[in-house]
Amino acid sequence: MTTKKILTIFPLIFLLSITVFVQKNRCQTISEMDADVVRVFFLGGQSNMDGYGRNVDLPKHLNREFENAWIFHGNPVGDDQVNGGLGKWDVLKPGHGVGFSSDGVKNKLSERFGIELSFVKRLRELYPKGKIAVIKYSKGGSSIDIAAGRYGSWEEDYKGAAGINQYDHFLTTIKKALSTKDIDGDGKKDRLIPCGIIWMQGESDAAYTEEIAGRYYSNLEKLMDLIRAGLHTDDLPVVLGKISDSWNAKDGKVWDFCELVQYAQEKYVKTENNAAIVRDTRYYKYSDPCHYDSSGYIDLGEKMADAVYRLIKNQKKKQ
């Protein structure tokens, strides 16, 4: 990433910290004996990160409040809206799927869920003595290209009508989440250590034109670096969910340029030395032409947790 882009981000988010530089990943050095250290993972993307799973379909081990696990879910809104990214830390529980909203004071849970429940449950198994937190911001239909449709753009240079885009909402989410000193309310300051980026997105970029889909690799590379900078960590592991097609459209394909985006995702994990991709999405069933069914979200969360854990473990071995 260019120095210019980093300097553009810092004034917005690095007031949260005494340091004003991007750090190396400290996730590998966490001691399980430090009760106030929390591993933090960012969950981002579009509607299959929002989550269309139904709470009524959840098994008992996921349909509950989680111990030593928290979520900050930024309010998902369109471009040019001023209340995007508002939220508050809460104990992780069902209801953080599509339809969730927050005004920054109170979270309004929905009847849906995404990958966050099974993702955290699996990480709690892998880190049984640790604390886990997720910061989530995603917006259904959003693209990472500047030529976005009406559902919003993550491209930092996309100005829209009022100059506010999805990347701005992401920055608001991160700023408010990381500025909270005590996320569990026990009266002690928590140390939030970013440990990974989990990204499920690309369907919209595969839906418009061949040119937009053809730019996905460069857009993805740029955005992941910007998100790493936003989380103060330049070598954060990145786990992608590979997009897939339900083939449930009048002309067959829902995403006309799906293969181009899939190629870009595979290229990214081959050229980026701290990234992985979950390909199991091709086996999932769909609840509608665009979204997985409940079992798909549960499986995707588990697979993404395993993938980021392996990246963290391998990164530690290389040190």
What is the pTM (predicted TM-score) of this model? 0.91
Alpha-carbon distance of 229 to 175, in angstroms, equals 12
Closest CA relative to residue 97, chosen from 121, 115, 122, 123: 115
Give percent of the chain above pLDDT 90. 82
34 or 33: which leads in pLDDT: 34
Find all residues with CB under 8 Å of 2, minimum gap 6, and list them: none
Judged against a pLDDT cut of 90, whether residue 315 lies above it is answered with no
Q: Name residue 217's amino acid.
A: Y
Domain segments of the chain as ranges? 36-318
pLDDT average, residue stretch 263-285: 97
Q: Which CATH architecture has domain 36-318?
A: 3-Layer(aba) Sandwich (3.40)
20 or 275: which leads in pLDDT: 275
